[in-house]
């Protein structure tokens, strides 16, 4: 099992460019999440999905869009990147809600110049 796979692992963008981060899980999990991690800020939820075709906003959704067209994939899009979006992005998945643990990807380091 690969678990949760994020691509790419590193990316450098110029301000105004767009990109999509891909998260893929092979565990048939219903719930998927996108977090960003910044120094001193912990992990903050951007968007999440509780099933195929559904998405919901988290704590810091502005400037990001997501799609969950297939159960195993959760895409995070930046339409017009800004330096404030420089961060490490983590995808996570969970079988269900509640006591089930989250499985995390290894993160994507994004720098916006």
Q: Which residues contribute to the site for other proteins (CB under 8 A)?
A: 31, 33, 35, 40-45, 48, 50, 56, 58-59, 88, 90, 92, 97-99, 101-102, 104, 106-107
The rounded distance, in Å, linking the Cα atoms of 32 and 23 is 9
Of residues 14 and 98, the one with the C-beta less far from other proteins = 98
Our CB check for other proteins shows the closer of 16 and 51 to be: 51
| Residue 80: CB minimum distance to other proteins, A | 26
Q: Is 96 exposed, middle or buried (0-12, 13-18, 19+ CB in 10 A)?
A: exposed
User: Which residue's CB is nearer to other proteins, number 14 or number 99?
Assistant: 99
For the bound state, the minimum distance from the C-beta of residue 99 to other proteins, rounded and expressed in Å, comes to 5
- Which of 56/82 has CB closer to other proteins? 56
Kindly provide the residue ranges of all beta strands, DSSP E only, lying in the chain, ordered along the sequence: 4-7, 10-13, 19-25, 31-38, 42-49, 56-57, 65-67, 73-78, 87-94, 103-104, 108-112
């Amino acid at each position: 099992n690969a678990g949760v796979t994020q691509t790419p692992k590193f990316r450098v963008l110029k301000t105004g460019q767009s990109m999509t981060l891909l998260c893929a899980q092979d565990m048939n999990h219903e719930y998927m999440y996108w977090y960003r991690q910044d120094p001193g800020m912990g992990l903050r939820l951007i968007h999440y999905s509780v099933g195929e075709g559904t998405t919901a906003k988290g704590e810091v959704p502005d400037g990001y869009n997501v799609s969950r067209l297939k159960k195993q994939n959760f895409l995070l899009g930046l339409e017009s990147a800004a330096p404030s979006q420089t961060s490490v992005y983590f995808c996570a998945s969970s079988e269900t809600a509640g006591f089930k643990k989250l499985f995390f990807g290894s993160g994507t380091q994004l720098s916006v110049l």
